[in-house]
Each structure stands twice: as C-alpha cells, then as structure tokens.
Amino acid sequence: MTRFFVDISMSLDGFVAGPDAKLEEPLGKGGERLHDWVLRLASWRSTHGLDGGETGPDDDLVRATRERVGAEIMGRRMFSGGEGPWEDDPNADGWWGDNPPFHVPVFVLTHHDREPVVKEGGTTFTFVTDGIESALEDARAAAGESDVLLGGGASVVQQYLRAGQLDELNIHVAPILLGGGVSLFGELGTDAPGLKLRKVVESPFVTHVSYEVVKA
Amino acid sequence: MTRFFVDISMSLDGFVAGPDAKLEEPLGKGGERLHDWVLRLASWRSTHGLDGGETGPDDDLVRATRERVGAEIMGRRMFSGGEGPWEDDPNADGWWGDNPPFHVPVFVLTHHDREPVVKEGGTTFTFVTDGIESALEDARAAAGESDVLLGGGASVVQQYLRAGQLDELNIHVAPILLGGGVSLFGELGTDAPGLKLRKVVESPFVTHVSYEVVKA
C-alpha cells in the first residue's frame, strides 16, 4: 500500500506562515525564514533548475522525500494565495511560472471548477472540486506505486487529519518563533489522532520529526 | 554567569495542558500524556522518593537538568491551579504534599501576599508579588552558582520571553496531538525573540529540543 503523508516546515510556536500573509508576502511576516534551511540544499536547488547547493543529512532527507512522491495534493491558498472564482484571482497561474518545482501531477483542492493546466517538467495542475476524498483517490491513481504528498496548507492538513486519512506527518521544525500566523494544527479537538514517533533527523538548521498517524 | 532556562513538555500541536483543566484534572483532557515519557525514568522516580525506573538518554538528560538547578520559578496556576486570595484556594498547599520533588527554593509568582512555606527535602515556596523581574532576582540569589529553572506555566514563560530574560528553551516534544488546551507560546507577536538550535536528543518516547534565546 502506498502512503499519504504531510511534509511541511513549522516554527517552534506551531505556525506554517507568519502574520498578515498577502499576495506580495505569501508566507506572512517573517514566514520566509521557515524555509531558510531548505533553500541552501542541492536537492532543493535541482528541483528548481539550479546547480550547486549543500549536501548532508538535510539534503539526503529532502532528496529521499522527492523520490518517493508520485503525486501531490495542495489547497487553493497554497496554489495561488487567492479564493473565489479563478477569473478574479490575480495569481491564478500559481506561484511557480512555466516550470514548477513539483515535477509530478498536482491536485489542487478548490470550490471553483477549472480545466487542468499542463506545465513544463512533468508538473500538471488538476483542480478538484468534489472534496478531499476525491482528491486523494485521484492522486493515488496518478501516483501509481509511489506515495502521495500533502504539501499544505494548514487547513487542508487539518481536514485530512480529521478525516483519518493521513499515514505520516513529517514536520521540519525551524528554530524560530513567528509570534503568530497560520497554525499548522489549530485546535483539532477530539478529532486529533494518535501519533507514534518514527524518526528524528537533526542538523544545525532544522529538526526533522516524523510521526506515524495511528489509525482509530 | 548562571543561566535562566525553561524546561517543559509540549505536545506536537504546541500545548502544555489539554482542554478543560480543573482541580481534579490539572493538566486538562489528555494532558497527563505529556509526561508519559518522564514517569518511567529513574531520575524522575528518585526526585519523587521512589526506587527503580529506566535509564538511558532521556534519564541522563533529566538528571543533568536537575543537577544544574539551584532554584525554580513557577506561576500560581502551576503551584495550585487556583487564583485569587489564598484563603479561597482549595489547593493552597500545592500539588505535592510534604516532600515536593523540587528540593530547591521555589519562587511562586502571585498577586496575593503570603508567608513562605518550608517543606521537607529542601523545597521552600516563596511567594513573590512584585513581578517577574523581582522573582528572577530572588531566584538567582538563592541559586548561587547554579542555574534557575522556569517550570511554567505557559503564561509565565510568555511573560519572561517578552521581557527578554530567558537564556534557553528546553522543550520536550511529546508525540501526541492534544487538540486544544494551553498553548505554550500563544501569539508572542513582534516580541518573539530569535532562537538558535543548541541540541537535539531523541528517544522513542519524546524528542528533546534545546534552543538558545538570542538577545536583542
């Protein structure tokens, strides 16, 4: 059975974006610091069409994650930062230009119908309007023998956690306090699933913690 | 210079107590699971007057922490769970009976005057009503060459972080989602200090992360 997992950077105070996210500052105030650890890595640079970069445990981990992913799911806000009808979204093409860094089929959860978009480098964006379970079915079918990555954002992560459909949480804890913003887990209440620690990988720049989600 | 540090268990979703904390359930719903990792340890058992227990990296870390502490600061809620005048507090003697597990001078932050209480085993409770800086001065004086531990709770941790007085954050991340409750960091806003990763220690039961607080 292939696996469905989250892979996301979070501040020590639990935020995946800082306060006041907007089109010009999609990760909110200070939020770009969540990703300082990854931007230096050879694996990250190569998926973005860049040479060079650092190797080591952080890089090995990012590379291994990329290699297991056959499809990705993300929320509309992560895709464009917008909401509502696509024709009114100033960032309707997404953040990533002609050759996005995903290189796999991406399924975008939205309430607004739209034809699929085919980009260079193997990335396609398919817009799913009939719910998270349908998106997961589509992504699993597209991924074949590979795993499905849930890229974010927080709202979508919480929806899949409540629905009991995630197998694994991989959190990159950045050594920062954002002071506010978008909380990854929010308040799941009694829907919060059990966890089991899988693995910890550390570097001076970030702490990677991986958990198995315990199915009820 | 001696150091002033936090040492506290937190869930992956950032809570140091579960929802609906009350006298009969001081850590709220599910909150006792925050401490599952420590209750098994020889070092924890010995401070509570019990024999036996497990050794290993978790135990080494707890023992090393205890050995550096010369005084502790805690909030009124952590001391008794109550608020308001002491004569109306049904738990005014605290949670720990005649021989509390601290074995050092403890300074309790409160708005309500009270004479010090001397317990067995080296624990004294001194009640400080003139603010967090005063409590820290008293605790540093009592600790001498040793360090000062801030035991909690969340409100007091946030107050000292905002005031820029903490040197070190030691967080034991329990592999659980509490779904709600008392958030350790809350929303510190622009008062959130910088951090630098010091050390990570892992075990199957908990992930210990230690940060240096970067002074402005």
> How far apart, in whole angstroms, are the C-alpha atoms of residue B103 and residue A78?
51
Q: Do B211 and A175 touch (CB under 8 A)?
A: yes
The closest alpha carbon to B157, from B196, B198, B185, belongs to: B185
Contacts of B200 in chain A (CB under 8 A): 200, 202, 207
Q: Do B180 and A189 touch (CB under 8 A)?
A: yes
% residues pLDDT > 70 (chain B): 100
pLDDT in tens, A16-55: 999 999 888 999 999 999 999 999 999 999 999 999 999 9
Distance from CA of B57 to the nearest CA of A (A): 14
Please give the ipTM for the structure prediction. Answer: 0.95
> Are A6 and A168 within 8 A, CB to CB?
yes
**Does B194 have pLDDT greater than 80?**
yes
**Does B216 have pLDDT greater than 90?**
no
Q: Do B171 and A200 touch (CB under 8 A)?
A: no
Distance from CA of A187 to the nearest CA of B (A): 5
The closest alpha carbon to B80, from B15, B127, B139, belongs to: B127
pLDDT for residue A191: 87
Burial of A51 (0-12, 13-18, 19+ CB in 10 A): exposed
Contacts of B173 in chain A (CB under 8 A): 173, 209
pLDDT in tens, A53-84: 999 999 999 999 999 999 999 999 999 999 99
pLDDT in tens, B34-77: 999 999 999 999 999 999 999 999 999 999 999 999 999 999 99
- Give the confidence band of B1 by pLDDT, cuts at 50, 70, 90: confident
Burial of A60 (0-12, 13-18, 19+ CB in 10 A): middle
SS3 B34: helix
- Whole-model pTM: value is 0.96
Distance from CA of A206 to the nearest CA of B (A): 8
